[in-house]
């Protein structure tokens, strides 16, 4: 229940954990993980996301290789959220969590074989917290970014496109998405509607936060909640948007829209982990007026939309299919396993304290 979760979060603080680590920690989960590796042989243990780190640390001595997939730098993520939070209490919460996360992230990578990160920006953020807390610079990282299924997310029939329709997709309870959608609805959408009174905004994704549900049905906004296939909604978009201002790592929602051949207007932060070329693959805008103008320019220019959409699709096919990142990660796992085997079979150096004439017991 909520009380139990809150208690775990508070108790976690005494262990030096950020709130989100304690909130999701489970003694039963730890026991299941330890039981799973007892009496069995595994090549590798893999934990996804920082919230699984404590489970990995509990079992890492019983497996030859351990991979901790931090993916994004959570300190960078929470720090950005602290700067875009609306209320005083929310800002204080994220500032507190940022400090706690920095201490945790500076050392959580130690003792595992490899730490998986999405890209250089996340690596630099973790290096920064390591230097700040004097834990030694992270030296076991490999890059393992996400990808997109270009068969599911592919260009659809242009007849499906609905006039003057903007689509933003993603998990709509995820704090960076909630912040992005509310910021866009409050600062960009009114400007755009003054120019295009019949324009529509679709916020597509599961578990929408109350702040987003409050927008549904007003001023041309539709909040879908869970949908069977987000691609069906993205197909309706005249323009796709990714107004992310507070996040780290890689924005799959942006890749999905580009893979579908959509003209995209995004923020610099949204494109940070992807590296699409502004003006060729997508348009970037960080301020309300600039974003409004960028979107309007695309609504008025079908040829430009098609040009950006085709370039974005090519960019994803060349750089962000699932196959490439997974093959890289698999290779890193094989190399780590081979090194572990070499280390386990290497002859031990002679003990300088043992007498040469003394037989082994």
Domain that holds residue 311: 158-319
pLDDT at 71: 92
CA triple 22-28-34, angle to 5 deg: 105
Condensed to tens digits (0 to 9), the pLDDT of residues 97-108 reads: 999 999 999 999
pLDDT of residue 348: 63
Is the domain of 306 the same as that of 174?
yes
Residue 134 located in a structural domain: yes
Q: Is the pLDDT of residue 324 over 90?
A: no
Place of tokens 């007498």: 355
What's the rounded Cα separation, in Å, for the pair 141 and 143?
A: 7
Confidence of residue 162 (pLDDT cuts 50, 70, 90): very high
**Bigger pLDDT: 18 or 355?**
18
* pLDDT score recorded for residue 249: 75
**What are the contacts of 184-187 at 24+ separation with CB within 8 A?**
184/241, 184/243, 184/291, 185/215, 185/221, 187/288
The pLDDT value recorded for residue 356 is 47
Q: So what's the pLDDT on residue 11? A: 86
Q: Which of 209, 316, 204, 326 is nearest to 271 (CA)?
A: 316
351 pLDDT above the threshold of 70: no
Q: Measure the CA–CA gap between 332 and 340, rounded to whole angstroms.
A: 12
Instruction: Provide the b/e sequence for 9-25 (b: ≥16 CB within 10 Å).
Output: beebeeeebbbbbbbbb
Give me the mean pLDDT over the 222-246 stretch.
Answer: 97
Residue 343 — pLDDT band, cuts 50, 70, 90? confident
Q: Are residues 60 and 123 in the same domain?
A: yes
209, 140: one domain: no
Question: Is residue 63 one of the residues assigned to a domain?
Answer: yes
End-to-end CA distance of the chain: 56
Q: Are residues 209 and 277 in the same domain?
A: yes
Residue 2 confidence (pLDDT) above 80: no
pLDDT tens digits, one per residue of 288-301:
999 999 999 999 99
pLDDT digits (tens, 9 = 90+) for 176-224: 999 999 999 999 999 999 999 999 999 999 999 999 999 999 999 999 9
Beta bridge partners of 321: 148
| Cross-strand bridge partners of residue 165 | 200
Return mean pLDDT, the chain: 92
Whether 296 maps to a domain, the answer reads: yes
Domain of 232, CATH number, reads: 3.40.50.2000
What digits encode the pLDDT tens for the residues 8-39? 888 888 899 999 999 889 889 999 999 999 98
The rounded distance, in Å, linking the Cα atoms of 48 and 28 is 18
Is the domain of 71 the same as that of 97?
A: yes
Same domain, yes or no: 314 and 185: yes
Give how many domains the chain has, as a whole number: 2
Residues 228 and 163 in one domain: yes
Q: Which residues contact 345 (CB under 8 A, 6 or more apart)?
A: none
Q: Other CB atoms closer than 10 Å to residue 46's CB: what's the count? A: 17
Confidence at residue 197, expressed as pLDDT on a 0 to 100 scale: 97
**pLDDT given at position 313:** 98
Are residues 134 and 266 both part of a single domain? no
Q: Are residues 199 and 331 in the same domain?
A: no
Model pLDDT for residues 241-280, shown as the tens digit of each residue: 999 998 777 889 999 999 999 999 999 999 998 999 999 9
In a domain, 233, yes or no: yes
Q: What is the pLDDT of residue 358?
A: 43
- Cα 48–chain centre separation: 11
Q: Is 359 helix (H, G, I), strand (E, B) or coil?
A: coil
Measured N-to-C along each axis, helices 175-183 and 74-84 cross at an angle, to the nearest 10 degrees, of 30
Bigger pLDDT: 314 or 346? 314
Within-domain flag for 346:
no
Looking at the domain assignment, is residue 11 inside a domain? yes
Question: Given a cut of 50, is residue 68 above it in pLDDT?
Answer: yes
| 352 within domain boundaries | no
- In this prediction the pTM is 0.83
- Whole-number pLDDT of residue 361: 41
Task: Look up residue 340 and give its two tokens.
Answer: 């572990």
- Residue 202, beta-bridge partner list: 167, 222
* Tokens encoding 331: 């290779």
Average pLDDT over every residue of 124-137: 95
Identify whether residues 210 and 304 lie together within a single domain.
Answer: yes
């Amino acid at each position: 229940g909520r009380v139990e979760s809150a208690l775990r979060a508070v108790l976690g603080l005494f262990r030096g954990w950020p709130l989100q680590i304690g909130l999701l920690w489970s003694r039963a989960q730890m026991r299941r993980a330890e039981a799973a590796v007892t009496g069995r042989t595994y090549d590798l243990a893999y934990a996804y996301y920082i919230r699984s780190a404590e489970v990995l640390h509990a079992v890492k001595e019983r497996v030859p290789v351990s991979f901790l997939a931090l993916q994004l730098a959570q300190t960078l993520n929470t720090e950005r959220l602290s700067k875009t939070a609306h209320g005083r209490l929310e800002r204080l919460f994220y500032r507190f969590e940022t400090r706690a996360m920095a201490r945790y992230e500076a050392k959580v990578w130690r003792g595992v074989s490899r730490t998986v990160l999405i890209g250089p920006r996340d690596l630099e953020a973790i290096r920064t917290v390591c230097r700040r807390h004097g834990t030694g610079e992270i030296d076991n990282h490999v890059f393992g970014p996400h990808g997109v299924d270009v068969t599911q997310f592919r260009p659809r029939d242009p007849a499906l496109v609905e006039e003057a329709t903007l689509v933003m997709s993603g998990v709509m309870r995820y704090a960076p998405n909630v912040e992005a959608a509310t910021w866009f609805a409050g600062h960009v959408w009114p400007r755009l509607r003054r120019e295009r009174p019949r324009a529509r905004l679709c916020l597509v994704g599961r578990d929408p936060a109350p702040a987003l549900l409050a927008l549904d049905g007003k001023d041309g906004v539709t909040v879908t909640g869970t949908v069977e296939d987000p691609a069906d909604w993205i197909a309706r978009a005249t323009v796709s948007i990714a107004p992310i201002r507070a996040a780290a790592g890689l924005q799959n929602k942006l890749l999905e829209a580009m893979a579908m051949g959509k003209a995209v207007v995004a923020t610099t932060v949204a494109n940070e982990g992807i590296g699409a070329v502004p003006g060729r693959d997508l348009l970037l805008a960080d301020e309300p007026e600039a974003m409004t103008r960028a979107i309007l320019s695309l609504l008025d220019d079908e040829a430009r939309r098609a040009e950006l959409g085709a370039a974005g699709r090519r960019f994803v096919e060349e750089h962000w299919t699932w196959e490439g990142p997974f093959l890289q990660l698999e290779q890193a796992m094989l190399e780590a396993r081979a090194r572990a085997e070499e280390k386990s079979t290497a002859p031990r150096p002679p003990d300088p304290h043992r007498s040469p004439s003394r037989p082994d017991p």
